Amino acid sequence: MDKQDIKELLQHVAEGETSVDDALLQLKLKPFQDIGIANLDHHRGIRQGASEVIYGAGKTPEQIDRIAHSLWESGQKTILITRMSQEAADGFTADIPFTYRKEGRIGLVGEMIEPKHNGYILIATGGTSDIPVAEEAALTAEILGNKVERIYDVGVAGIHRLLAHADKIMQARVIVAIAGMEGALASVIGGLADCPVIAVPTSVGYGTALGGVTALLSMLNSCASGVSVVNIDNGFGAGYLANLINNMEEGKK
């Protein structure tokens, strides 16, 4: 049950279609479910605005399948599975709606949430090698109900490629800047945009890139205001945060 479900339930109570006691019973249902291999948080959508997400790495295909089916049977209409392997996708029981996006290693049970407004999240990468992380961010944001624009391979080694998209940068509500190597892309975009910029360092690079640590430190030390940083290769975290920013209610305290 998410916030929209709660609103619909309260509307039914207001219109006399559901009794107060029945509504109270639905709200009091166990907030989590112990299925042996996991404790499923059914009230996360009420608390945070987005329902529980399945992190696929480290889980067996059977565990992913069981968790997803349990969430679906509990009434969760959109289930996002991150870091899902091709093996897990191939073995997924096809008795519920399921799609797999190989480019971002993302599985989706159910349907994407419809965007709430016309504003968009812009996903930008320094190079083509950063695209897997970018697609994890982009698909996460899209599945959670956002319009997403993509500009890939626009790193600072050929900065004219980035400047060719100045209009998209300046009109975005949130930007996710993804880069490895020295991670300079986030600072450059931060100097052009008037919206929040979420920087994602990637593990792309040669020896002293140190698996993304160099890009991480560079982004943390950005001289551009308004740049925040998530963990190395954390496309999901960036996409989720961009979703929260993009869907903030004006005037909400």
Q: Is residue 225 domain-shared with residue 192, that is, in the same domain?
A: yes
The pLDDT of residue 245 is 94
145 in a domain, yes or no?
Answer: yes
Residue found by looking up tokens 């608390």 in the block: 47
Which residues touch 102 (CB under 8 Å, ≥6 apart)? Answer: 86, 89
Q: What is the CATH number of the domain that holds 150?
A: 3.40.50.1970
Q: Is residue 153 domain-shared with residue 227, that is, in the same domain?
A: yes
Q: Is residue 239 domain-shared with residue 187, that is, in the same domain?
A: yes
253 in a domain, yes or no?
Answer: no
95 in a domain, yes or no?
Answer: yes
Q: Is residue 239 domain-shared with residue 132, that is, in the same domain?
A: yes
Q: Which of 110, 143, 177 is the last residue of a domain?
A: 110
12 in a domain, yes or no?
Answer: no
Q: Is residue 126 domain-shared with residue 70, that is, in the same domain?
A: no
Q: Is residue 95 domain-shared with residue 201, that is, in the same domain?
A: no
Q: Is residue 101 domain-shared with residue 126, that is, in the same domain?
A: no
What residues does 177 pair with on adjacent strands?
124, 199
The pLDDT of residue 76 is 84
Largest CA distance in the chain: 67
Q: Please report which helix (H) or strand (E) contains residue 50, including its range.
A: none
14 in a domain, yes or no?
Answer: no
Q: Which of 110, 140, 175 is the last residue of a domain?
A: 110
Q: Which of 110, 144, 172 is the last residue of a domain?
A: 110
Global pTM? 0.83
217 in a domain, yes or no?
Answer: yes
21 in a domain, yes or no?
Answer: no
Amino acid found at 190: G
Q: Is residue 100 domain-shared with residue 156, that is, in the same domain?
A: no
Q: Is residue 129 domain-shared with residue 103, that is, in the same domain?
A: no
User: Mind listing the pLDDT tens digit for each residue in 87-105?
Assistant: 999 999 989 999 999 999 9
Distance from C-alpha of 168 to C-alpha of 173, rounded to nearest angstrom? 10
Q: Which two tokens stand for residue 38?
A: 């996991």
- Give the count of domains, the chain: 2
In which residue ranges of the chain is pLDDT below 50?
251-253
Q: Which domain holds residue 146?
A: 120-246
- Expressed in angstroms, the distance from the first to the final Cα of the chain is 23
Q: Is residue 63 domain-shared with residue 132, that is, in the same domain?
A: no
Q: Is residue 82 domain-shared with residue 143, that is, in the same domain?
A: no
The pLDDT of residue 202 is 97
26 in a domain, yes or no?
Answer: no
Helix (H, G, I), strand (E, B) or coil at 23: helix
Q: Is residue 241 domain-shared with residue 126, that is, in the same domain?
A: yes
